[in-house]
A and B are shown apart, each in its own frame.
Chain A
Amino acid sequence: MSNTESNSVAGMSMGDGARPRNLAKGLRTREILQQVSLLLVWVIVVIVFGILRPDTFLTVGNFSAVFGTNATLAVLALALIVVLRAGDYDLSLAAVMTTCSVTLGALNVEHHVSLLWAIVVSLLMGVALGALNGFIVVVVGIDSFIATLGMGTVLGGVALWFSGQQQIVGVSDHLVNWVIVKQIFGIPISFYYAIAIGLIIFYIFRYTAIGRRLLFVGKNREVSRLSGIHVKRVRFGAFVVAGFIAAIAALLYTGSSGTADPTSGISYLLPAYAAAFLGATCIEVGGFNPIGTLIAVYFLVTGVSGLAIMGVQNYVQNIFYGAVLIVAVAGSQAFARSRSRVVSD
């Protein structure tokens, strides 16, 4: 970070800072284009698949499915950006979600605990696991990448153990009703949960002191510490909040089929990362942000859905998600470089 400063700025001031107006205007237009680029790409993808498969892709049913059935991924990606924004990684979130889901299923189905209490325990489980991650990373001081990679694997095992290594079928219909059956404007209600969480995070990131501290810490811990910010508290808090939101994702994950599956949840991790990094290329360019992440999630699942309708095999999903993750990161780096050129210009 500091290198960027010394490299790109060394010896070059902006003069009087008076860029010619049309240049500034050009930059402004470019910025706006960049901010909405992903939205444009999404529209193009919709148009292309629409032209290729108008009868199946451009149907209310398909859109309802695309928006309604992917809330789990959206909420998990939102959980992830809280930690990413604070400058840490969390590779355990999909496993946290799975563990919470299995906890919910086991309590409700096998131990006949009421749905409400099962949900409460499951959410607390998310908070506790987030706190455990936070403890290992912030207090013990292990690099977050390694710590959460380890935790993710441990929790993958725990989920299998809690569930007796099989799917727990028959979770209360109420949950299923409140996740996927009820619809507003033809789209399952879970979509609106994801949007609501996204908007809350947007507000917190943008308009609260906590949100600004989170960004400060993510951008530079030492500057934050010397500015009087409780860096450890902020990072710990980010892990806890992410655990809680992952537990909400677990409710949607369980509720969308009425089943707690101890294995398939893990596969949400990569698309969540792809969405978070792709999301950081738009809206608030260069920063992990909830609106960009939501756009990215629905861009990704539109792509996957379109490919499926085209008759492409399932494994293409993995190729698509993985490639998008790499392209998103490469793209944002290339953009950062081009911008620093504009800067030293």
Chain B
Amino acid sequence: MIPDVEISHVSKRFGAVVALDDAHITLRSGEVRALVGANGSGKSTLVKILSGFHRPDSGVMKIGDIEADLSDDWRHGEHWQVGTVHQDLGLIAGVSVVENFLLPELAVGHAGSVKLNWHKLRSSVASHLSRFDVDPSLVRRKIDECPRVTQAVIALARAVWILEGGFAKGTAEGITADHQRPATLILDEITAFLSLDEVARLREVIRSVAASGHSVLLVSHDLDEVLSFADEITVFRDGRVVAERQVSDVKKAELFSVISGISMEETQDVTSGGPTRSRDNVSIGVKELRAAEGAVGPLSFDIAAGEVLGITGLLGSGFEHVPYALFGADPTATGTLTINGTAYDLSHASPSRSIAHGVALVPGDRGTQGLWVDMTIAENLSASDGSLSLHPWVQARAPMWRRGDDIVDEYAIKAPSSKSKIVELSGGNAQRVLMAKWLAVDLDFLLLDEPVRGVDVGARLQIGEMILERARGGLSVVCATSDHEFLSQVAHRVLVFANGELSFELHPKGGAGFVAKDDIVWSCQAKEDSSNASIAR
């Protein structure tokens, strides 16, 4: 019988900010526990404490009859094993599966003697992988030749391998779980970018890890996923545990409101009451669009003034290339973009020209594409400010800070002032800055790529409202995202992609303002499931 790990009274401050306030969590052998909460709610801090990265200010760890002070014994390796898989999976591209597998052990020199016995290593890794239904012949392959879901399973299998004693154990006695010591596998947002089928595959793997006697802690933003994977749910808000539920007794709407602290009625408000719109008010036309070196297209569609057009599909369906191609950021794009009657050839487009024509792009990756993270909010905002080109030789600083402060207030960005740097902000607030960078200027056409990736529930609602607000003012918007929940809150129409082509065009049903999530989910899967894709459903 493996004892439970009971962690309680965990507090952690960073300077003036309380990240965790008397938090607790229990990890039971054989159980999958989900950890949910908005960005900044403290769940990442807890994960980092559990995995021994942060030392808590206080905390108690109880394992059977062992009790320890977590602020002393924060690396706790003796009594309890913890393995973590992060979203990036920690795999090295261009290197074989077996080498990736042994990476953590090779790093500290535990993989046997000085000379590596590759034959033996490969066979023990292969036999371990077969337990997770991974084809053992993959061990010689490069990791990037494996599908994303296989990579996720390999990363997960690797963490389990280390939990179970790693190479030393594997060779000596065969792989068996250590039945005295509890072991926990922490999975931090590893299902991003996976299709529903792939997520289902991962679900089986995770259940089997739990069944072999480990406890699993799953961190996720996706509530559907949480509800389908987990046995127990712990909800964090503002550094505290605000709810603990069994999955069987909880509804998604309730989780939404516990996480965000917004009452269920308010959640309803945002998702209802979209404007009705006439389809003859076309302002943007796209003809014969091809993108991503020919992998996408040819596509033709148009967008009405004030319309939010959702673009989605499974990973690899090519939908994510569309905003970049329309913005002129994809040098291989061809086609024609018509804005209010003026046609532009996309093969000669560039971001600077597009911006001059009133087109803006909010890229999907805040840190590397959207914002200068080590610069201030005001400086970031100034990049889209037309005054930069109006007065090339005189740029007073004061107006920049003033404009920044105004936008910080207007868009409810939580920061002491616009002189705060982006790195000092939470994900949701950084995303608000990125949205504001383009929403605060005059535009005819706004392109969004994953506008709510890694953003908490409260910020999602607000960003959705920001987009709809501008649309009500007549702005045409393209929103490319794999977040179907979000699309169902903002999109007046949705184009679904499969294999680089349009497979479905979805409209709201029964007088609703926005396209229903179920329809979107179904359409994304339909193409994959069978070739008899029919729009009539």
- Footprint of B on A, CB under 8 Å? 1-6, 8-20, 23-24, 206-213, 215-216, 219-220, 222-230, 286, 340, 342-345
Contact = CB atoms under 8 A, between A and B. Distances in A.
A228 B354 contact: yes
Contact of A228 (B14, B17, B351): B351
B430 interface: yes
A12 B44 contact: yes
18 contacts: A5-B373, A5-B430, A9-B423, A9-B425, A11-B47, A13-B428, A14-B17, A18-B416, A209-B391, A213-B388, A216-B372, A219-B374, A227-B351, A228-B384, A229-B352, A286-B374, A342-B15, A345-B14
A4 B373 contact: yes
Contacts of B427: 9-10
B355 A228 contact: yes
Contact of A226 (B39, B363, B396, B429): B363
A220 B424 contact: no
A8 B54 CA distance: 12
B460 to A, nearest CB: 15
Contacts, number: 154
- Taking chain B's interface residues, is the majority helix, strand, or loop, or is none over half, making it mixed? mixed
Contact of B416 (A19, A219, A220): A19
A25 to B, nearest CB: 12
A207 B395 contact: yes
Shortest beta-carbon contacts, A-B, top 5: A11-B44, A345-B15, A13-B40, A2-B367, A13-B426
Contacts of A12: 14, 17, 19, 40, 44-45, 426
B93 interface: no
Contacts of B396: 207
A212 B351 contact: no
Contacts of B422: 5
Interface residues of B, number: 62
Contacts of A17: 414-416, 420
A5 B366 contact: yes
Nearest to B393: A208
A1 B383 CA distance: 19
Contacts of B45: 11-12
Contacts of B425: 9, 13-14
A2 to B, nearest CB: 3
A300 to B, nearest CB: 27
A289 to B, nearest CB: 14
B40 A11 contact: yes
Given A1-B374, A220-B372, A14 B426 contact: yes
B1 interface: no
A165 B456 CA distance: 68
B426 A210 contact: no
B313 interface: no
Given A13-B426, A207-B397, A345 B17 contact: yes
Contacts of B397: 206-207
Nearest to B366: A5
A223 B372 contact: yes
A6 B430 CA distance: 11
A18 B425 CA distance: 13
B369 A223 contact: yes
Contact of A23 (B15, B19, B371, B421): B15
B214 to A, nearest CB: 24
B365 interface: yes
Interface in B342-380: 351-352, 354-356, 361, 363, 365-375, 379
Contact of A210 (B379, B392, B420, B430): B392
B86 to A, nearest CB: 10
Nearest to B424: A343
B180 interface: no
Nearest to A220: B372
B196 to A, nearest CB: 26
B108 interface: no
A344 B45 CA distance: 11
Contacts of B33: none
Given A13-B414, A345-B14, A2 B426 contact: no
B329 interface: yes
Interface in B377-406: 379, 382-384, 388-389, 391-397
B351 A11 contact: no
Given A15-B18, A18-B416, A209 B426 contact: no
Q: With a 10 A CB-CB cut-off, give which of A6, A208, A215 has the most chain B CB atoms.
A: A6
A194 B363 CA distance: 42
B240 interface: no
A15 B429 CA distance: 11
B43 A5 contact: no
B42 interface: yes
Given A14-B426, A207-B395, A345-B16, 6 more contacts: A5-B367, A13-B40, A212-B383, A227-B384, A228-B351, A228-B354
B334 interface: no
Contact of A219 (B355, B361, B363, B375): B375
A2 B16 contact: no
A5 B375 CA distance: 12
Contacts of B394: 207-208
B52 to A, nearest CB: 16
Contacts of B41: 11
B522 to A, nearest CB: 33
A55 B391 CA distance: 53
Contact of B395 (A1, A4, A209): A209
Contacts of A20: 16
A15 B414 CA distance: 8
Contacts of A10: 44, 427
A280 B41 CA distance: 36
A4 B40 contact: no
A303 to B, nearest CB: 30
A219 B369 CA distance: 11
A65 to B, nearest CB: 37
Contacts of A11: 19, 39-45, 47, 426
A6 B367 contact: yes
B372 A219 contact: yes
Interface string B272-312: 00000000000000000000000000000000000000000
Nearest to B17: A15
A16 B415 CA distance: 7
Contacts of A343: 421, 423-424
A4 B374 contact: yes
A24 B16 CA distance: 10
B414 A222 contact: no
B367 A1 contact: yes
Contact of B15 (A19, A210, A227): A19
Contact of B365 (A2, A24, A219): A2
B389 A220 contact: no
A225 B437 CA distance: 15
A17 B366 CA distance: 20
A286 B423 CA distance: 14
Contacts of B437: 227
Contacts of B429: 13
A223 B368 contact: yes
Given A15-B17, A209-B391, A286-B374, A230 B426 contact: no
A292 B14 CA distance: 32
Contacts of A215: 375
Contacts of A226: 327, 329, 351, 361, 363, 369-370
